[in-house]
Amino acid sequence: MEHTSWENVTYHAMVVSEEEGAFVRNIETLTLKDLPEGDVLIRVGFSSLNWKDCLSAMGNPGVTRRYPHTPGIDAAGIVAECTTGAFHKGDKVIVTGYDLGMNTAGGFAEFIRVPEEWVVRLPRGLTRKEAMMLGTAGFTAGLSVKRLVDLGVTPEMGTVLVTGATGGVGSLAVLILKKLGFTVAAVSGREERRDYLTAIGVDQVVPLDDAVDKSGKPLGKQLWAGVVDAVGGEVLETAIKNTRNRGVVTCCGNVRSGDLNSSIYPFILRGVSLCGIDSATCPMDERLAVWAKLAMDWKPDDLAEVVESLNGLEDLDEQMERMVKGERTGRCVVHIP
């Protein structure tokens, strides 16, 4: 079918608009002309909710500069049209990160149109729904664990600490690490979520108060062989102080704070490595490698245990409010019928 024949097709999308200084979200009917230019038109079947989507939906200018806008940094679907020939109609694909859902209309819609370079073929071993149960959070957890493993952290070296462990990145990091045989400790600010953490395999729950060092000393006990941090601030600072000789700390998120006040001593006296994780700009070769692992030997056995499923875009608004208030646990996948 020719490119132009699609243009009057209508579709539904969540649209965030700025009205008198407030950001309002509605499900609207658009036509494919409203989508940006791009090589690959994708009929979205599933998307998922990530922290960045909440920021975009609530008008955070660090994420989205132009409104009206459709958020959704994740999408899995079927190629409707590809103008470059790199993909064929009917191919099952995933798009996560890059500019999707930031300043490019995102996955909270029945269609997206993106550059060919952003598109990942759905790996064998994952359904489109499973790919979105993982989504950016799972991909980021996978990247973080890959960094630990690549830099030599093994289950024999000791416990890995996961922060923000009841959240999307944290829950999936726990599941992947357990699948690889690691002993896992998890920080949580909520005592009532201890049972959830134990159920997903956490061996030791660290209350948030204990995860924030108040001694002022530059080094603490050597507790962790590795750390997957999704919260930043004092929690990350403390985790670095408590990392063992040659241990590795990954840092991907800032739900607590974007600040990091650390001395250099963990790095020069213990050889600790601090690695930044940026899933959005991850190069394609590493992206494919991580998705391949997530589809096969790193695929969490209990994925469904940490995922809530929505049918349609209508309930996403409420879930975003819950996420911002810290009331959500695990992941939220949305089926776009």
Ligand X SMILES: NC(=O)c1ccc[n+]([C@@H]2O[C@H](COP(=O)([O-])OP(=O)(O)OC[C@H]3O[C@@H](n4cnc5c(N)ncnc54)[C@H](OP(=O)(O)O)[C@@H]3O)[C@@H](O)[C@H]2O)c1
Binding site residues, ligand X, CB under 6 A: 50-52, 136-137, 140, 164, 166-170, 188-190, 193, 208, 230-231, 235, 252-256, 277-280, 323, 326
Rg (CA), the chain: 20
Task: Give the H or E element holding residue 11.
Answer: strand 10-19
Angle at 39 between CA 38 and CA 43, to 5 degrees: 85
State in angstroms the smallest separation of the CB of 133 from ligand X: 13
Q: CA neighbours within 13 Å on the CB side: how many for 62?
A: 4
Q: Which is nearer to ligand X, 13 or 235 (CB)?
A: 235
CB 129 within 8 A of CB 333: yes
Q: Which is nearer to ligand X, 80 or 330 (CB)?
A: 330
Nearest residue to ligand X on Cβ basis = 167
State in angstroms the smallest separation of the CB of 176 from ligand X: 13
Q: Which is nearer to ligand X, 223 or 282 (CB)?
A: 282
State in angstroms the smallest separation of the CB of 195 from ligand X: 12
Q: Amino acid letter at 27? A: I
Q: Which is nearer to ligand X, 11 or 171 (CB)?
A: 171
State in angstroms the smallest separation of the CB of 143 from ligand X: 7
C-alpha torsion 57→105→112→126, nearest 10:
-50
Residue position matching structure tokens 């924030």: 212
State in angstroms the smallest separation of the CB of 289 from ligand X: 16
State in angstroms the smallest separation of the CB of 107 from ligand X: 14
Q: Which is nearer to ligand X, 38 or 232 (CB)?
A: 232
Q: Which is nearer to ligand X, 246 or 322 (CB)?
A: 322
Q: Which is nearer to ligand X, 63 or 112 (CB)?
A: 63
Among residues 314, 320, 319, the alpha carbon closest in space to that of 336 is found at 314
State in angstroms the smallest separation of the CB of 180 from ligand X: 19
Angle at 44 between CA 324 and CA 82, to 5 degrees: 135
Among residues 54, 25, 78, 198, the alpha carbon closest in space to that of 136 is found at 54
109 Cβ partners below 8 Å, 6+ apart?
11, 12, 13, 14, 30, 44, 70, 72, 313, 336
